[in-house]
């Protein structure tokens, strides 16, 4: 159940459907009855096979992951990039670059950047930062991105924990 006073409660979650951060954000949206949207590669391509139809994503004309990454950045009011490592690589670094190039609001939350990473206090701090970001930039369509599950196996739990804490905040 969503908390109606949380800034996250009025947001559409936008994501590309890849395993890891993307999928955790979409699953969170579905479970908490938040609207979700986004672009995925043609064929609903993901590292674990075609993306399930319960994810209401549109297919790009290309199978290239970069095309959907750019489209999701451009179709959102802002992007929140989640990672475990403080210095992302691969597609996560590409998302950061696209967001900067498009001059869209950007927030990067890195779990291991906290001195006490993984604690309830660290999760609450990141949730507060996310809520402040949403309010400051008046974000209604939030692109959530980050590493795929094979690159950072605990990223989904981190994304889910921060979103749950943000949704519970007032």
Residue 170 has pLDDT above 60, yes or no: no
For residues 30-54, b (16+ Cβ closer than 10 Å) or e, as one string? eebebebbbbbbeebbbeeeebeee
User: d(Cα 17, Cα 36) in Å, to the nearest integer?
Assistant: 11
Do the Cβ atoms of 24 and 156 come closer than 8 Å?
A: yes
Is residue 7 over pLDDT 60?
Answer: yes
The CA-atom distances, in angstroms, between 31 and each of 8, 42, 86, 138 are 14, 25, 28, 24
> What pairing do the DSSP bridges indicate for beta strands 58-59 and 106-110?
unpaired
pLDDT tens digit sequence for 123-154: 999 999 999 999 999 999 999 999 999 999 99
DSSP SS3 for 133: helix
Query: How big is the chain, counted in residues?
Result: 170
pTM score, whole prediction: 0.95
Domains present along the chain, CATH in parentheses: 12-167 (3.40.50.450)
């Amino acid at each position: 159940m969503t908390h109606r006073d949380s800034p996250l409660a009025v947001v559409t979650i936008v994501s590309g459907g890849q395993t890891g951060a993307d999928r955790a954000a979409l699953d969170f949206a579905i479970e908490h009855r938040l609207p979700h949207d986004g672009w995925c590669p043609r064929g609903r391509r993901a590292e674990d096979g075609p993306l399930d139809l319960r994810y209401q994503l549109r297919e790009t004309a290309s199978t290239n992951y970069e095309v959907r990454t750019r489209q999701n950045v451009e179709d959102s009011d802002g992007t929140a990039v989640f990672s475990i490592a403080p210095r992302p690589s691969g597609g996560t670094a590409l998302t950061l670059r696209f967001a900067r190039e498009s001059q869209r609001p950007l927030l990067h939350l890195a779990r291991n950047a906290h001195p006490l990473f993984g604690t309830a206090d660290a999760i609450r701090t990141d949730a507060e930062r996310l809520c402040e970001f949403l309010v400051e930039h008046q974000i209604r369509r939030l692109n959530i991105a980050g590493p795929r599950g094979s690159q950072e196996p605990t990223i989904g739990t981190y994304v889910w924990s921060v979103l749950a804490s943000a949704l519970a905040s007032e």
